[in-house]
Amino acid sequence: MIKSVLKISKVLLLMVCLSSVPATMMAEVEEAVNNQIEQELNQVSISVSGSTLRVKNAEGLTLEVYGITGEKVYTQNIDSSSKAFELSQLQRGYYIVKIGKFTRKIYLH
């Protein structure tokens, strides 16, 4: 979140510096900034509680879970913007979760 604020601050500073630029160019810059902010707000979010994995902002993507040896141990399509997956069938330990281009290490209790 702090990185997002820093990026936005840099863009706003750039916009101030470009205040003498024609309005059509400013509109394009403003649109690009708004698109970037929207993308950052819609990033995939993963949280784990015990053996329950919760995923947000990943509708239409595929959840893949890998053991630390690289073996795929679980696959599921994500059909809603907020989804919970019960992974109690997996042993306690560390796993790698991949959703689209997003990858994260998790620990299941």
Q: What are the tens digits of pLDDT across the range 66-89?
A: 999 999 999 999 999 999 999 999
Helix (H, G, I), strand (E, B) or coil at 2: helix
Domain count, the chain: 2
User: Are both 54 and 93 inside the same structural domain?
Assistant: yes
User: Are both 32 and 65 inside the same structural domain?
Assistant: no
- Give the CATH number of the domain where residue 74 resides: 2.60.40.10
pTM for this prediction = 0.64
Task: Give the model's pLDDT for residue 100.
Answer: 87
- Residue 12 exposure: Cα atoms within 13 Å on the Cβ side: 7
Structural domain range at position 90: 45-108
User: Are both 50 and 79 inside the same structural domain?
Assistant: yes
Backbone CA torsion sign across 45, 77, 67, 84 = positive
- From 13-22, 52-61, 79-88, 93-102, the region with the lowest mean pLDDT: 13-22
Q: At what angle do helices 23-41 and 2-17 cross, to 10 degrees?
A: 180
Structure confidence by residue, pLDDT tens digits, 42-72: 689 999 999 999 999 999 999 999 999 999 9
